[in-house]
Amino acid sequence: MVQLFKLLLVFSFLFSSVSAKENYKAEEIKKLIGRTIILGFDSFSLNTQLKNDIKQYNLGGVILFSKKYKTKKIKNIKNPTQLKALTSSIQNYSDYKMFISIDQEGGKVQRLNKNNGFTSYPSAKEIAKKPENEIKTIYSKLAAELKEYGFNLNFAPVVDLNINKDNYVINKLERSYSKDSKEVSKIAQIFIEEQKKNSIFSVLKHFPGHGSSKADSHKGFVDISNTWNKEELTPYKNLINKDKVDFIMTAHVFNKQLDKNYPATLSYNINTKLLRERLNFKGLIVSDDLQMKAISNHYTLKQTLELAINSGVNILVFGNQLGNTRLETIVNTTYELIKENKIPLSKILESNRLINNLLLTNSI
């Protein structure tokens, strides 16, 4: 009887997947996949490749950088006039709302700064030393500037706790507000609220916590199994419970306390069982850049897509700073996985539902 029940469950899953696929043409499925991708590109203007990605695949969004990671040459942002022309041309070319995204934390991580004609903002460490009214003023100005130049999604604030003083990627770059979870939650909430007033979506990062790490996931494998503690989840809990969170970004960190097999970005245990079910997060889960070496050195593109999407990640980021991955390749590889019944189409449909709901219920 138990065996029969299991067989019925498997049959039901396969039948529903096949039925769902039969309701969509291949090009429709590929456009649904495209909506779940945020892509980096090398250009100062809307180029032919980007136009094709938008029209053929419904590219979900772009991420802009000031400089190329390796050569330090200008990548997307020359000056205010050029940037405004770029973001408006992208949004106007699309017949749907796209995410125009950036990393604008302040300090060492700000793509708009005084060197390219914008305002420079303090690091998280510096912010934490200021009175609350001044913090609010700073983040209000930052958010207003993002809005003025066409952005609607900022990969900030960082809510990692400043646990490991030898941590290069968080502590040394002054990206954490504090080791105190209450202080981190309080300042992050101010940042989120000021961005929301300016129609900017915020992204909490890096789930389930990067502050205790000893290595940089841009460069390779990062294991936080022996340094991570549950207190690192507290800012997420606090802000989710206050209904302040639209996006959470996953970290490419391995933590055997939470998953013995996969890093967080590829982990069903972390993204679905912990974040969705235990913490009751209803928003969008977005990956950190999938070209970072912690992922790309250990998994093929096909493996990465299968694991990330099945883990519960809704939006996949390919910054094209550490690699050069075409949207066509990402979409076609994901489509193959759907045809092979390795990814249920329902995962893509659910991500599209969450994206559309967010855009419909927020004026950006």
Instruction: Tell me: pLDDT of 215 over 70.
Output: no
* 272-288: average pLDDT: 98
Look at residue 294 and tell me if it is in a domain.
Answer: yes
Look at residue 6 and tell me if it is in a domain.
Answer: no
* 94-103: average pLDDT: 98
pLDDT digits (tens, 9 = 90+) for 159-182: 999 999 999 899 999 999 999 999
218 belongs to the catalytic site:
yes
pTM for the complete prediction?
0.93
Question: Active site residue: 160, 210, 216, 218, which one?
Answer: 218
Sign of the dihedral through C-alpha 270, 272, 277, 279: positive
- The full length of the chain comes to 364
pLDDT digits (tens, 9 = 90+) for 127-164: 999 999 999 999 999 999 999 999 999 999 999 999 99
Q: What CATH number is given to the structural domain containing 330?
A: 3.20.20.300
Return the SS3 of 352: helix
| pLDDT-derived band at 20, boundaries 50, 70, 90 | low
Look at residue 5 and tell me if it is in a domain.
Answer: no
Question: Active site residue: 216, 259, 288, 289, which one?
Answer: 288
Percent of the chain with pLDDT over 70: 92
Task: Please calculate the CA angle 288-291-297 and round it to the nearest 5 degrees.
Answer: 115
Q: What share of the chain is helix, strand, coil (3-state, %, to 5)?
A: 45, 10, 40
Residue 101 to residues 65, 169, 200, 356: CA-CA distances in angstroms?
Answer: 9, 21, 9, 17
Q: Which structural domain, as residue segments, surrounds residue 185?
A: 17-360
288 belongs to the catalytic site:
yes
Look at residue 155 and tell me if it is in a domain.
Answer: yes
Produce one character per residue of 305-339: b if its CB has 16 or more CB atoms within 10 Å, e if not: bbbbbbbbbbbbbbbbbbbebebeebbebbbebbe
Q: Structurally, how many domains does the chain consist of?
A: 1
